[in-house]
Structure 1
Amino acid sequence: MNLPDFPDLGAERLDAVLARHGLSGALIVRRANVGIFNAIFEVGQDLILRVPRQHPAFVESAHKESVVVPLARALGVRTPALVAFDDTLELLEVPYGLYERAPGGPLEHLGRAPAETPEAYREVGRDLARFHRAERTASTSDLAIEELPSVDALPDELAERGYVGVQEARWLTSWIAHLRVVGATEKTNAVLRHGDLQATNVLVRPSGEYVVLLDFGACGWGDAADDFAGVPLSAVPFMLDGYREEGAGALGASIEARIVARQLHIALFLARRGPQPDKSWAERPLGMLLDLVRTLATSSDPRWRETLP
C-alpha cells in the first residue's frame, strides 16, 4: 500500500507549532506509527499533536475530527478533548490538532484474547451506543465513509488472482448469498458510525481497564453493524452486551448477519493485498477470515451459527 507523505515535520516547524499555542520549550517526541492516517507526537505530559498525511482524504479526516470529537464528548463518549485545531495552513501544509493526552495504550497491544478483556469491549460497546445517538446537523449531515466495491465479484477475483481455488470461491459466493437470506441486507436507520473501530483505537490501562475511544476521522452515516467489523468476531458479543445495556435501539433484528457480512466483505476486499506485517489486526485479512470462521463454527449461540451456509 503506497501512502502519501507527511509534510516536513522538522524541529523548526514543530517549534513554530508549539509557539503558536503557547507551548514553547515543551518536550515533543514522535510516537511510532500505529495507524496510517496521522503522525503522532507527545507534547509534554498532557497533550498529543496529530498531523495528517498530505492528501485530500487524510486532510478531510482531520476536519471530520474537529467537528465530531466535541460532539462525541457532548454525547458522553469517553474520548480525549480537542484542545486546538489549526487549519490556516500558515505553519504546515495540512491542518493539525492538539488533543488531551489519555493514559494507557492500545488494547490490541496487550496481546490478549477478547475473552480475557471482556469488560473493555463492553465499555467500547457502551460508548459506541452513545455515539450512535448523534443527530444530523448542518455540520454532520454530509459526513460519509468511502464505500467498498461490491462483494459479489470478490470471490471470483480472488480465484482468478490465485488467492483461492474455484471451489473456495464458489463456497464464498454461497456464503454471501446465505447471509442475504438471513438478513444481511436489512435496512435500518442510519447512524453516525465511528468508521475505524478497531482495538488499536481503544486505549486501556495495563490491567485491561478501558480508558477512551480514539480516532473519529473516518466517521460517516450508515449501518450501525459496520462499527462491529474492525475487531475479532469473538469480541463482538461483549460489545453488543454493552451496547444493549446502554439502551440504544439502532441495531435491528438481523444485527448478527449484518456484522458477519461486513466482516466477510472487508476481509475479501483486503485479501487482494500482500502481507501487512506492520499494520493492525484489522488490516490482515487472513487473520480476519480465520477468526470469523473459527468463532462462528464454535459458537453455541444460534443467532451466530445460522450465519454460516
Structure 2
Amino acid sequence: MHADRARIDTPLVRGLVAAQFPRWAGLPLEPVDSTGLCNAIYRLGAELSVRLQFEPSTADIVRRERAKLEALAPLLPVAVPAVEAIGAPTDAYPGEWSVHRWLTGAHPVPGALADPRRLAADLAAFVDAFRRIDLPDRPPGYPGERRTRAPMAAMDAATRQAIAGLDGLVDTRAALASWQESLAAPYDGREVWVHSDLMPSNILVSAEGRLAAVLDFETCGVGDPACDLFPAWYLLPAHVRDAFRAALDVDDATWLRGRGRVLSQALITMRHFRDADPSPAGDARRAVAEVLAASR
C-alpha cells in the first residue's frame, strides 16, 4: 500500500525537531512500536510524540485534522490527541508533520482484554457521543465516499478482487456470501459524525481495561453510522458483541453494513500485506474469521 513511503528514522526526526522546534531538541526521542499503516510515531520526552505520514503530504491534511480535533475534543468522553505544533516540509521530509501531547494507555489486544464488557460499554459511549455531534462543518468521513444511498457499492469490485485473490487462505465461498448479504442491506442515507477507523491500533486502554483515549482523527467526518462498528469484529469477543450493539441501538441493516465494511477492509488488507507485513495481515485474518463465524 505504501510502495513510495518516506524513509523515516530517528536521525531524520531528531533533525526535524532540532531545526524547527529547538525548545524540544534536547528531549529523548525513540520510535513507538505501532501497527498503524499510515504514520510513523516517535515519543519525544515524557509528554510529547512526533507523527509523520509514511506518504508525506502538503495538502493541509495535518492542519485539517488539528482543526477537527480542537472542535471535537470538548464533545467526547475520552481523551483525544492535541496537536502542539505543526512542522514544515523540508528536502529531507517533503510534507507537514506534527507534534502531539502524549496520551497514556496501551493498545488493546483481541483475546486478552482485561474487562471486555466494560470496554464494550465505553466504546459504545464514545460512538454514541460522536453520533450526537452537531457542528456546522460536515466533512465526509473516510473513505470520502460520494453522498449516495448505496455507499458500499463503491467497495464491491475491490472486495470481490480481494476474495478471488485469497483462494486457499480464506473460505472464499463463505466470504462472498457474507459480503453479498451486507451489500444488499438497505441504507436510508442518514449521516452522522463517525471516527471511521476504530481499529485496535487507534484505541488506548487503561491497565484496568477501560477506554482511555482514541487516536487518529484524520479521516473522521460524517457518513454511514455503520462505519463505527469496527470494534465489534476487530476487537470485542463474540459474547459481548450483542451488548455493544444494544448500547448503540443498531438495526439489522446497519449491523450488516458494518459487518460488510469490516470484511471488505480486512480482506483487502490481507491481500496486500500477506507477503509483506505479518502484523496487519494477522489482525485482518482474525477479523475475517470473526465475521465469517458470525455470518454462519
Q: Counterparts of 1:143 and 1:155 in 2: how far apart (Å)?
A: 23
Deviations 1:22-55 (A, max 9, x none): 3342222221233122221212211222122234
Q: Which residue of 1 aligns with 2:69?
A: 69
Q: Any idea what SS the aligned residue of 1:197 has? A: coil
5 Å-filtered alignment, 1:200-211, equals: 200-211=201-212
For structure 1, which runs of at least 5 residues remain unmatched after alignment? 245-250, 298-309
Match of 1:292 in 2: 291
Number of the residue aligned with 1:15: 18
CA-CA distance at 1:61 after TM superposition: 4.6
**Once the 2 structures are TM-superposed, how far is the Cα of residue 86 of structure 1 from its aligned partner?**
1.7
Task: Indicate conservation of the 8 Å contact 1:64/1:218, yes or no.
Answer: no
Backbone CA RMSD of aligned residues: 3.3
1:177-216 deviation per Cα after TM superposition (whole angstroms, max 9, x unaligned) = 44455xx222241122212111121111233122111111
Cα gap change, 1:131 to 1:13, in 2 (>3 Å): same
The answer (yes or no) to whether the contact 2:17–2:24 under 8 Å persists in 1 is no
Q: Using the alignment, how far apart are the partners of 2:265 and 2:64 within structure 1?
A: 23
User: Structure 2 matches for 1:170-185, cutoff 5 A?
Assistant: 172-179=175-182, 184-185=185-186
Partners of 1:35 and 1:274 lie apart in 2 by: 13
Please identify, of 37-46 and 229-238, the stretch whose mean Cα deviation from structure 2 is larger.
Answer: 229-238
Query: What is residue 37 of structure 1 aligned with on the other side?
Result: 38
- The alpha carbon displacement at 1:105 in A equals 0.9
Do the aligned partners of 1:121 and 1:238 also contact (CA within 8 Å) in 2?
A: yes
Provide closer, same or farther for how the CA distance between residues 153 and 144 of structure 1 changes in structure 2, counting only shifts above 3 A.
closer
- In the alignment, what sits opposite 1:247? none
What is the distance in 2 between the residues matched to 1:105 and 1:257? 30
- Asked if the contact 2:106–2:204 (Cα under 8 Å) also holds between the matched residues in 1, the reply is yes
C-alpha contact 2:181 2:256 (8 A) present in aligned 1: no
Shift in CA distance, 193/117, structure 1 to aligned 2, threshold 3 Å? same
Q: Which protein has the larger Cα radius of gyration, Structure 1 or Structure 2?
A: 1
Q: Of 143, 146, 151, which aligns to 1:145?
A: 143
How does 1:67-106 map onto structure 2 within 5 Å?
67-86=67-86, 88-89=88-89, 93-106=94-107
Give the Å deviation of 1:10.
4.7
Query: Whole-Å Cα distance in 1 between the matches of residues 168 and 97 of structure 2?
Result: 42
Corresponding letter in the other structure for 1:141: P
* Distance change in 2, residues 1:31/1:268 (3 Å): closer
CA distance in 1, matches of 2:271, 2:194: 25
Distance 1:173 1:142 in 2: 28
Q: What are the equivalent positions in structure 2 for 1:90-239 lying under 5 Å apart? A: 93-108=94-109, 112-113=111-112, 116-138=115-137, 140-141=138-139, 144-147=142-145, 149-151=154-156, 154-155=159-160, 158-159=163-164, 161=165, 163=167, 172-179=175-182, 184-229=185-230, 231-232=234-235, 234=238, 236-239=241-244
Name the amino acid aligned to 2:16: R
Contact 1:132–1:193 under 8 Å retained in 2: yes
Letter of the 1:29 counterpart: E
Identity of counterpart residues, as a percentage? 18
CA distance in 2, matches of 1:54, 1:178: 35
* Matched residue, 1:306: none
Per the normalisation by structure 1, the TM-score is 0.74
Q: Secondary structure at the match of 1:212?
A: strand
* Deviation per residue, 1:78-115 (Å, 9 max, x gap): 2334142325436953222222222221012xx53569
- Shift in alpha-carbon separation, 1:14–1:49, aligned structure 2, 3 A: same
- 5+ residue gaps, structure 2: 146-151
CA distance in 2, matches of 1:114, 1:26: 33
